[in-house]
Amino acid sequence: MMLGKRETGNRKRLVLAVHDVTPAHASKLAQVYSLLAERGLTRYALLVVPDWHGEWPLEQHAGFVDDLLQRQAAGAEIFLHGYRHHEAGFRRTWMQHLGVAGRTAASAEFYLAPPDQAARRLDRGLALFAALGLQPVGFIPPAWLYGPGLADLLRQRNVGLTEGFWAIANLATHRQVFAPALSWSTARPWRSHLTAGIAAVRRVLETAPDLVRVAIHPPDVHVPVVARSLRETRGRLVTMRQVVTYRDALR
Ligand SMILES: [Zn+2]
């Protein structure tokens, strides 16, 4: 079959997200950024945490914020990603414990926060971003874990774009695009090997879906088996797909 010129317009797409963007991870993030820059990538999502574990308030790290502003100007999309990214101060009920089993050790901040506290943390995060010049396109809760009412809180604040493990979504238009996150785990060596194995299979399988989503966490670059897998996955997907922003993917 002859491939016409229109074929390029139909090229399969890829969204890339860098999670847990905080000055606490500055040196690992620098490595992630250079991994992306090697392929000339600038249109990735940055999931920024306002005050990582209550110890890394963004406003006290001017150089880090300047770097984010430059990346934003170059086409990166900023997402608010929790407030502290830590569930300290909240107690899991037994049912909640079951609900997040295997998903996260202690990052269920916006799953456990009661609506009034979730609202307060959202407002503080959004106000801080506004003061710093960061223009978030959406909100993604830590570990993709949503508490009851969180979607409504986001809609009330015109925070449109979000995602879960299985899909990305625009809360304003109700558009959802199925794209299970391709991510790695560095929590245990066996999990690193397992997720690298899954990535290897998915690199081959995922020629079909219109949209593939890759989630990169800063520790990924420090575990050799994961770093190698990440590099191979990036290499293969970027060759076959066009990197788009979340906004484009949800248009
Ligand atoms: Zn996170």
Instruction: Calculate how far, in angstroms, residue 247's C-alpha sits from the geometric centre of ligand 1.
Output: 20
The pLDDT score that the predictor gives to residue 10 is 59
Residue 206's CB is within 10 A of a number of other CB atoms, namely: 23
Instruction: Calculate how far, in angstroms, residue 48's C-alpha sits from the geometric centre of ligand 1.
Output: 9
Phi and psi of 19, rounded to 5°? -90, 160
The pLDDT score that the predictor gives to residue 8 is 45
How many whole angstroms separate alpha carbon 77 and alpha carbon 85?
19
The pLDDT score that the predictor gives to residue 5 is 40
How many whole angstroms separate alpha carbon 208 and alpha carbon 229?
20
Token couple for 118: 């979730």
How many whole angstroms separate alpha carbon 138 and alpha carbon 124?
15
- The domains located in the chain, with CATH, are 13-249 (3.20.20.370)
Instruction: Calculate how far, in angstroms, residue 142's C-alpha sits from the geometric centre of ligand 1.
Output: 4
User: Using an 8 Å Cβ cutoff, are 78 and 137 in contact?
Assistant: yes
Q: What percent of the chain has pLDDT over 90?
A: 66
How many whole angstroms separate alpha carbon 109 and alpha carbon 87?
4
Report which of 193, 177, 185 is spatially closest to residue 143, judged by C-alpha positions: 185
The pLDDT score that the predictor gives to residue 189 is 86
How many Cα atoms within 13 Å fall on the side-chain side of residue 137?
Answer: 23
The pLDDT score that the predictor gives to residue 2 is 42
Instruction: Calculate how far, in angstroms, residue 5's C-alpha sits from the geometric centre of ligand 1.
Output: 40
Instruction: Calculate how far, in angstroms, residue 204's C-alpha sits from the geometric centre of ligand 1.
Output: 27
The pLDDT score that the predictor gives to residue 7 is 41
User: Using an 8 Å Cβ cutoff, are 195 and 184 in contact?
Assistant: yes
Question: How many residues can be counted in the chain?
Answer: 251
Instruction: Calculate how far, in angstroms, residue 62's C-alpha sits from the geometric centre of ligand 1.
Output: 21
Residue 167: strand pairing partners: 178
Instruction: Calculate how far, in angstroms, residue 236's C-alpha sits from the geometric centre of ligand 1.
Output: 25
Instruction: Calculate how far, in angstroms, residue 73's C-alpha sits from the geometric centre of ligand 1.
Output: 23
Segments in 133-223 forming alpha helices (H):
150-156, 189-205
Instruction: Calculate how far, in angstroms, residue 208's C-alpha sits from the geometric centre of ligand 1.
Output: 28
Longest alpha-carbon distance in the chain = 61
How many whole angstroms separate alpha carbon 114 and alpha carbon 149?
9
CA 94 to chain centre: 28
pTM score of the predicted model: 0.92
Q: Which segments in the chain show pLDDT lower than 50?
A: 1-8
The pLDDT score that the predictor gives to residue 239 is 87
User: Using an 8 Å Cβ cutoff, are 219 and 28 in contact?
Assistant: yes
Residues lying with their CB under 5 A of ligand 1, a single-atom ion: 19-20, 142
